[in-house]
Amino acid sequence: MLNFLFKKERQIELLIYEYLDTFKLIYESFTNAMNFCFLNETSCENFDFYIKQTHRYENKITDISDEINSMMYSKALIPDSRGDIMALLSEFDIISRLFKDILHMMQVQKLIVPVFLIKETKELIKISVECCELLLRQCMAFFTNTRGIRELLGLIDTNESHCDNIERTIISMIFNSDISWFDKLQLKDLIERIGNISDGAERVSKRINIFSLKRRI
């Protein structure tokens, strides 16, 4: 139950939960596309399917966000709570677009990750997605006014630092390799975009923590 909303705003509450559920579907679809297809040593005919699925979920989450925004400004919600919620959803939107854009980039540019980078790239994706999973837990703790927000921030911060280290390692491996300069630049761009996932999760996590502290004042 969203304790800081009026009881009559049950519809908004349900929309927020639907939004968070859809965010989970986005990063799950992204993970499937990357691990089961793109980073698999064998070809995967479902890659295009996962790209379309991720795009569809991203469109859905945008529609839900717009609906929540419209309802909030047409209802008598507390202005501070309304602003905090929309700020959070806006940050989630940015991460959602990252998943879609990364897959679209790989599809259009026909990127291929060399075998010597696959292990580290899979690890970067794994930890990045774990950041998003932790972020969802933290967001639910915020909306339900339960404990654990600060602890989850710490876990996300640790994971983000781990992602930074992996990202630097991969980029070093790229430029120490004998692949073409053009391929190096393409792969560097891809790895940096994947790294932006954990950066975004940490940014949202810090904002949730601030909003949580504001509520206690």
| Tens-place pLDDT, residues 47-91 | 888 899 999 999 999 999 988 888 877 765 555 567 788 888 889
Amino acid letter for position 97: R
Tell me, what's the pLDDT at 133? 97
> Which residue ranges make up each domain of the chain?
7-216
What is the rounded CA–CA span in Å between residue 70 and residue 65? Answer: 9
- Compute the C-alpha angle 27/30/35, nearest 5°: 120
Tell me, what's the pLDDT at 216? 67
Q: Is 7-216 in CATH node 3.40.920.10?
A: no
Q: For residue 23, what are its two tokens?
A: 């965010």
Cα-to-chain-centroid distance, residue 69: 20
For range 98-118, the mean pLDDT: 91
Residue labelled with tokens 């940050």: 91
> In which band, very low, low, confident or very high, does the pLDDT at 180 lie, cut at 50, 70 and 90?
very high
For range 27-53, the mean pLDDT: 82
Tell me, what's the pLDDT at 29? 94
> In which band, very low, low, confident or very high, does the pLDDT at 1 lie, cut at 50, 70 and 90?
very low
Higher pLDDT, 37 or 14: 14
